[in-house]
Chain A
Amino acid sequence: MTTLARTSTRQRQWRGAILAYLLVAPPLLLMVLLIFIPATQSIARTLTISVDGQPGFSFSRYAAFFSDPISVNNLLFTFQVTLLTLAVIFIVCFPLSLYLRFSTGRIASAVQILALFPLFVPGIILCYALIRFLGTRGTLDTLLSLVGITGYRTPYLKPEAIVIGLVWESIPFTVLVLTAGLRQVSDTLIESARDVGAGDWTIFRRIILPLIVRPALIVFSLNFLGIFGSYTIPYLLGPAAPQMMGVFMQQTFGQYRRPDDAETQAVITFLICAFVGFLYVRTVASQRLTREEE
Chain B
Amino acid sequence: MATLDLINLTKQFGTVTAVDAVNLSVQDGEFMCILGPSGCGKSTLLRMIAGFEMPTEGDIRIAGDSVTHLGANKRPTAMVFQKYTLWPHMKVFDNIAFGLQLRRLPRAEIARKVEEALALVSLSGYEERYPSQLSGGQQQRVALARAIVLEPKILLLDEPFSSLDAILRVRLREELRRIQRRLKITAIFVTHDQEEALTLADRIAVMNAGRVEQLDAPTQIYDNPATLFVADFIGAMNLLQAQVSGGRIVLSGVTLDAPPGLQDGAATVAIRPEDMALLPDAAHAGAWRAVVEQISDLGHYRRALLDVGDGTLKIYLPKSAAVREGAQVAAFPRRYLIYANGGAPREVTRALPAEALTV
Whether A192 contacts B132 by the Cβ 8 Å rule is: no
B85, A294: Cβ atoms under 8 Å? no
Task: Find out whether the CB atom of A194 lies under 8 angstroms from the CB atom of B73.
Answer: yes
> Which candidate, A80-88, A106-114, A206-214, is the interface stretch facing chain B?
A206-214
Q: Report whether B103 and A192 are in contact in the complex, using a CB–CB cutoff of 8 Å.
A: no
Interface flag for A197 (CB, 8 Å): yes
B37 within 8 A of A: no
The answer to whether the Cβ of A198 comes within 8 Å of any Cβ in the partner chain is yes
Count chain B CB atoms within 10 A of each CB in A186, A192, A202, A293 and give the residue with the most.
A192
Would you call A192 and B81 a contact (CB within 8 A)?
yes
**B79: chain A residues within 8 A (beta carbon):** 191-192, 195
A188 and B84 within 8 A (CB): yes
Please provide the chain B residues from 303 to 356 with a CB less than 8 Å away from any CB of chain A in the complex: none
Q: Which of A188, A206, A290 contacts B81 (CB 8 A)?
A: A188
**In the complex, B229 has a CB within 8 A of chain A:** no
Contact B146 A196 (CB under 8 A): yes
Given contacts A188-B85, A197-B73, A197-B103, 11 further A-B contacts (CB under 8 A): A188-B82, A192-B85, A195-B50, A195-B72, A195-B73, A195-B78, A196-B98, A196-B99, A197-B102, A198-B73, A293-B133
Q: Output the least CB separation between A73 and chain B (Å).
A: 42
A170-198 contacts to B (CB < 8 Å):
186, 188-189, 191-198
Whether A194 lies near B72 (C-beta < 8 A) is yes
Q: Which of A191, A195, A199, A210 has the most CB of B within 10 A?
A: A195
Max chain B Cβ within 10 angstroms of own Cβ: one of A196, A206, A207: A196
Interface of B toward A, CB cutoff 8 Å: 50-52, 71-74, 77-79, 81-89, 98-99, 102-103, 132-133, 143, 146-147, 150
- From A188, A210, A294, contact of B132 by CB (8 A): A294
User: Can you list 23 pairs linking A and B with CB atoms under 8 Å apart?
Assistant: A188-B82, A189-B85, A189-B87, A191-B50, A192-B79, A192-B81, A192-B85, A192-B86, A192-B87, A192-B146, A194-B51, A194-B71, A195-B50, A195-B72, A195-B78, A195-B79, A197-B73, A197-B99, A197-B102, A198-B73, A198-B99, A211-B89, A294-B132
Interface residues of A (CB under 8 A from B): 186, 188-189, 191-199, 202, 206-207, 210-211, 290, 293-294
By a CB distance below 8 angstroms, the chain A residues around B146 are 192, 196
Residue on A with the closest CB to B131?
A294
Q: Among A198, A210, A211, A290, which residue has its beta carbon within 8 angstroms of that of B102? A: A198
Question: B84 to A193, Cβ gap below 8 A?
Answer: no
The interface residues of chain A lying within 8 Å CB-to-CB of B50 are 191, 195
B73 A186 Cβ-Cβ under 8 A: no
Complex CA gap A210/B84 in Å reads 17
Cβ of A193 and Cβ of B78 under 8 Å apart?
A: no
Closest B residue to A202 using CB positions? B102
Contacts of B88 in A (CB 8 A): 189, 211
Interface of chain A, main secondary structure: helix
Partner of B87, one of A195, A202, A207, A293: A207
Report B147 CB to chain A, min CB distance, Å: 8
Contact assessment for B84 and A196 in the assembled complex, using a CB-CB cutoff below 8 Å: no
Q: Write the nearest CB–CB distance from A196 to chain B, whole angstroms.
A: 3
A211 to B99, CA, bound (A): 18
Contacts A196-B102, A197-B99, A211-B88; A191 near B81 (Cβ below 8 A)? yes
The answer to whether A293 touches B132 (Cβ under 8 A) is yes
Tell me how far the C-beta of A215 lies from the nearest C-beta in chain B, rounded to whole angstroms. Answer: 13
**Least CB distance, B283 to chain A, in whole angstroms:** 61
Would you give the shortest CB distance from A208 to chain B, in whole angstroms? 10
**A186: nearest chain-B partner, CB-CB:** B84
B132 / chain A contacts, CB cutoff of 8 Å: 290, 293-294
- Chain B residue with the shortest CB-CB distance to A293: B132
Complex: chain A residue closest to B75, CB-CB: A195
- Nearest-neighbour CB distance to chain B for A211, whole angstroms, equals 6
Q: In the assembly, what is the distance between CA of A280 and CA of B84, in Å?
A: 28
Bound together, the chains give a CA A194 to CA B77 distance in angstroms of 11
Residues from chain A with a CB closer than 8 A to the CB of B85 are 188-189, 192
With a CB–CB cut-off of 8 A, which chain B residues contact A199?
73
- By a CB distance below 8 angstroms, the chain B residues around A193 are 87, 98
Q: Given the complex of chains A and B, what is the CA–CA distance between A189 and B77 in angstroms?
A: 16
Residue of chain A at shortest CB distance from B150 = A196
Cβ distance B153 to chain A, nearest Cβ, rounded Å: 13
CB distance from B277 to the nearest CB of A (A): 50
Tell me the complex Cα distance, A131–B50, Å: 54
The CA-CA distance from A206 to B102 in the complex, in Å, is 11
Smallest distance from the beta carbon of B154 to chain A beta carbons, Å?
Answer: 12
Cβ–Cβ < 8 Å partners of A202 in chain B: 102
Most buried by B among A188, A198, A290: A188
Inter-chain CA distance A290–B132, complex, in Å, is 9
Question: Whole-angstrom distance between the alpha carbons of A198 and B78 in the complex?
Answer: 12
B51 proximity list for chain A (CB < 8 A): 194
A198 to B102 Cα, complex, angstroms: 7
- Measured between alpha carbons, how far is A202 from B83 in the docked complex, in Å? 22
Task: Tell me the complex Cα distance, A186–B81, Å.
Answer: 12
For B150, the chain A residues whose CB sits under 8 A away are 196-197
Considering the complex, give the chain B residue whose CB is closest to the CB of A189.
B87
Instruction: Find chain B residues with CB under 8 A from A195 CB.
Output: 50, 72-73, 77-79, 147
Given contacts A196-B98, A198-B102, A293-B133, contact A191 B87 (CB under 8 A): no
B52: chain A residues within 8 A (beta carbon)? 191, 194
A residues near B147, Cβ cutoff 8 Å: 195
Residues in A whose Cβ lies below 8 Å from that of B102: 196-198, 202
**Residue numbers in A under 8 Å from B87 (CB-CB):** 189, 192-193, 207, 211
In the bound complex, residues from chain A placing their C-beta under 8 Å from that of B99 are 196-198
Q: How far is the CB of B269 from chain A (nearest CB, A)?
A: 45
Q: How far is the CB of A202 from chain B (nearest CB, A)?
A: 7
